Structure 1
Amino acid sequence: MKRRNFLKNSFSMAGMVGVSSLPFANKLDIFSDHRTIAGQNNFKIKYAPHFGMFKNSAGEDLMDQLKFMAEVGFTALEDNGMMGRTPEMQTKIGETMTKLGMAMGVFVVDKGGNGANTLAAGKKEHVDIFLNGCKRAIEVAKRCNAKFVTVVPGDFDRNLPIGIQTGNVIDALRRGAEILEPHGIVMVLEPLSDTPNLFLRTSDQTYEICRAVNSPSCKILYDIYHLQKNEGHVIPHIDWAWNEIGYFQIGDNPGRKEPTTGEINYKNIFKHVYKKGMAENKTFIWGMEHGNARPGKEGEQALIKAYIESDSFEV
């Protein structure tokens, strides 16, 4: 039996009892001759967990967590806090992912735009903070082999008309794109649902801004959890914004947990984007930016099982 099929079958048997019955080190020893090969579940999509998602199964060590992700079959990682890690750790994460055959997803541009320094205000000091973050992100991206960085423009400036605010955001993002584009780095703009004070709220608004910036280094981060809350009608909105989408993130609603725990039909969404991407030779990283619905190892096993189920669409 092929190694990836063996692990996939062992997950599906008895609710994946085999995963929890062995310590992490022993699970790796079963496959010690192929530890650096990702793809045990042969997922169709490049899902990207984050650190801490499997700490009960893999332990606290970040490299052990990466190895566990790869053994399960996940072929990417995202780490919002990468810019806050030491250069040595950033390099170690990048080197380990290369050995494991994993791609780096997004990390957040530090102070790239928030309530305290919103790009909508058009203030030089706010824009300077953002541009400095873009410059520092380049060195971080080189260490961990990243191609995508998350940018959130910040809050509304209630003292300015919306068109003026939009123009201010576009101007700032154009300057950021000029910094990132020579290095092949894409800032992906994330519309959020956390508070009505946030300037960037919908995919069509973000599409309009990306078209105005007019750079391959400025695209949409389509976080399905946030956009299902803000605008719904998910698949049509994906189609409308398709040419400006650079990255996806996952989270079911309500609860912001793994697929199958809420009302969003992720199997259909995954299938739609996968088939549409195949027709255009276009692939995406899908960041697993959500919590675990259940605690402990059992919750981590349930999360893996949810992704196996959601990825089991026919093409």
Structure 2
Amino acid sequence: MLSRRNLLKSAAIAAAAVSGNVSLAQNGSQKFSLGYAPHPGMFKHSAGRDVLDQIRFSADQGFTAFEYNGLPGETPEMQEKIGNLLDQRGMQMGVFVAYASFDKPTFTRPDDASTAEIMTAMKSAVEIAQRVGATWCTVVPGSVDQQHPDSQWNRYGGRRLADGYQTANAIDMLRRCVDVIEKHDLVMVLEPLNWYANHGGVFLQQSDQAYALCRAVNSPSCKILFDLYHQQITEGNLIENIDACWSEIAYFQSGDNPGRKEPYTGEINYRGVFDHLRSKGYTGVIGMEHGNSVKGVEGEQKVIEAYRMADAGASGRPEN
């Protein structure tokens, strides 16, 4: 989002580059080559429970971004503090969740109430983004249309819209969202979610489906959040699918499978994936939307070490 805050941030980063300090975090730790973004709670044992202290700790470890799904739940004053601190530490704000519905067909079979709820959420997202200097916000566009509470029940189930009509309704609603946010340079990123381990019944599952929606909406403010964990479960073939919908991807999230923990706890070749993003010139954020495989300070250090190992390939630097 173009704002005074972002202009000041760009100037600060440029000044740091001139002085030769841009590659180092404040405590001397080398900055990561890609924009990995921790989230609140990931380093709570090392930094304490205060979100601002967790941002400071993340910056000290070399992270250059921070994401916060639950940011709308913070007060406007706290949102301002978060934005100011990110500026001071030269960090990017990652996604926050502007709107998410997992069990109601709010996009695929909207009614007046759900439409009003979505529009209110998008207007609020603009205000939040301005406070923290955010460019992206996450949208989860509801569930598929199944048995509806207002449909007459029979032993075969109730009425259900055909898939094509559901998709058309979703496109219409996404265009209404764009009408709210595009003039403010805010980008909603649509996140496909898996049905098999976490979110059975959601409308948006696959990367090609997200690609088709974004092409239909045809706006720079409607793009894809490609979550590597979810897409490994749903479809695999990560690198080829990333390439196929590259023009519509604005944001990535990470997490290994099975377990949804840090890299190298599951089956995904994260060094290979991050190398590929680097080779394509990706300079955006990679949200670390996963848990820690080990509890406590030890587990938090293990997360940092996992990203150092994965980043070594992506940066061309040798491993420690």
TM-score of Structure 1 vs Structure 2, range by shorter chain: 0.7 to 0.9
Evaluate the alpha carbon distance shift between residue 113 and residue 196 of structure 1 in structure 2; reply closer, same or farther with a 3 A threshold.
Answer: closer
Residue in structure 2 matching 1:70, options 59, 72, 77: 59
Alignment map for 1:205-244 (pairs within 5 Å): 205-244=209-248
Alignment map for 1:112-131 (pairs within 5 Å): 112-116=100-104, 118-131=106-119
Residue in structure 1 matching 2:48, options 46, 51, 59: 59
> Is the 8 Å Cα contact of residues 38 and 100 (structure 1) preserved in structure 2?
no
- When normalised by structure 2's length, the TM-score is 0.83
Provide the C-alpha distance between the structure 2 equivalents of 1:235 and 1:38, rounded to a whole number of angstroms: 35
- Could you say which residue in structure 1 is the equivalent of 2:164? 163
Provide the C-alpha distance between the structure 1 equivalents of 2:186 and 2:77, rounded to a whole number of angstroms: 21
Residue in structure 2 matching 1:95, options 80, 84, 90: 84
Matched, 1:142 2:143: no
- Please tell me the root mean square deviation across aligned C-alpha atoms, in Å: 1.5
Provide the C-alpha distance between the structure 1 equivalents of 2:248 and 2:119, rounded to a whole number of angstroms: 22
Residue in structure 2 matching 1:43, options 32, 42, 46: 32
Provide the C-alpha distance between the structure 1 equivalents of 2:25 and 2:295, rounded to a whole number of angstroms: 28
Identity of aligned residues (%): 51
Provide the C-alpha distance between the structure 1 equivalents of 2:232 and 2:120, rounded to a whole number of angstroms: 32
- Look up the equivalent residue of 2:129 and give its one-letter code: A
Provide the C-alpha distance between the structure 1 equivalents of 2:277 and 2:97, rounded to a whole number of angstroms: 24
Matched, 1:293 2:281: no
- Could you say which residue in structure 1 is the equivalent of 2:18? none
- Look up the equivalent residue of 1:94 and give its one-letter code: G
> Is the 8 Å Cα contact of residues 49 and 287 (structure 1) preserved in structure 2?
yes
Provide the C-alpha distance between the structure 2 equivalents of 1:36 and 1:55, rounded to a whole number of angstroms: 19
Evaluate the alpha carbon distance shift between residue 275 and residue 196 of structure 1 in structure 2; reply closer, same or farther with a 3 A threshold.
Answer: same
Provide the C-alpha distance between the structure 2 equivalents of 1:122 and 1:58, rounded to a whole number of angstroms: 43
- Could you say which residue in structure 1 is the equivalent of 2:7? none
- Look up the equivalent residue of 2:307 and give its one-letter code: Y
SS of residue matched to 2:117: helix
Provide the C-alpha distance between the structure 2 equivalents of 1:129 and 1:39, rounded to a whole number of angstroms: 46
Provide the C-alpha distance between the structure 1 equivalents of 2:81 and 2:284, rounded to a whole number of angstroms: 24
> Is the 8 Å Cα contact of residues 105 and 145 (structure 2) preserved in structure 1?
no
Provide the C-alpha distance between the structure 2 equivalents of 1:128 and 1:233, rounded to a whole number of angstroms: 38
Q: Kindly state the Cα deviation for residue 217 of structure 1 after the two structures are TM-superposed.
A: 0.2
Report the more deviating stretch, 52-61 or 232-241: 52-61
Residue in structure 1 matching 2:272, options 268, 273, 293: 268
> Is the 8 Å Cα contact of residues 38 and 102 (structure 1) preserved in structure 2?
no
Provide the C-alpha distance between the structure 2 equivalents of 1:285 and 1:195, rounded to a whole number of angstroms: 24
- Could you say which residue in structure 2 is the equivalent of 1:172? 173
Residue in structure 2 matching 1:79, options 61, 68, 73: 68
Provide the C-alpha distance between the structure 2 equivalents of 1:267 and 1:55, rounded to a whole number of angstroms: 26
- Could you say which residue in structure 1 is the equivalent of 2:9? none
> Is the 8 Å Cα contact of residues 37 and 101 (structure 1) preserved in structure 2?
no
For structure 2, the 5+ residue unaligned runs are 1-23, 147-159
- Could you say which residue in structure 2 is the equivalent of 1:308? 308
Provide the C-alpha distance between the structure 2 equivalents of 1:98 and 1:104, rounded to a whole number of angstroms: 9
> Is the 8 Å Cα contact of residues 114 and 154 (structure 1) preserved in structure 2?
yes
Provide Cα deviations, 1:17-61, integer angstroms capped at 9, x if missing partner. xxxxxxxxxxxxxxxxxx984882221100000011111111112
Provide the C-alpha distance between the structure 2 equivalents of 1:124 and 1:203, rounded to a whole number of angstroms: 29
- Could you say which residue in structure 2 is the equivalent of 1:254? 258
> Is the 8 Å Cα contact of residues 72 and 128 (structure 2) preserved in structure 1?
yes
Provide Cα deviations, 1:98-155, integer angstroms capped at 9, x if missing partner. 0011110000014x44423521113232122111100011111111111100000010
Answer 1 or 2: which has greater helix percent. 1
> Is the 8 Å Cα contact of residues 107 and 169 (structure 2) preserved in structure 1?
yes
- When normalised by structure 1's length, the TM-score is 0.85
Provide the C-alpha distance between the structure 1 equivalents of 2:170 and 2:28, rounded to a whole number of angstroms: 40
> Is the 8 Å Cα contact of residues 38 and 101 (structure 1) preserved in structure 2?
no
Aligned length: 276
Provide the C-alpha distance between the structure 2 equivalents of 1:88 and 1:129, rounded to a whole number of angstroms: 24
Provide the C-alpha distance between the structure 2 equivalents of 1:116 and 1:38, rounded to a whole number of angstroms: 47
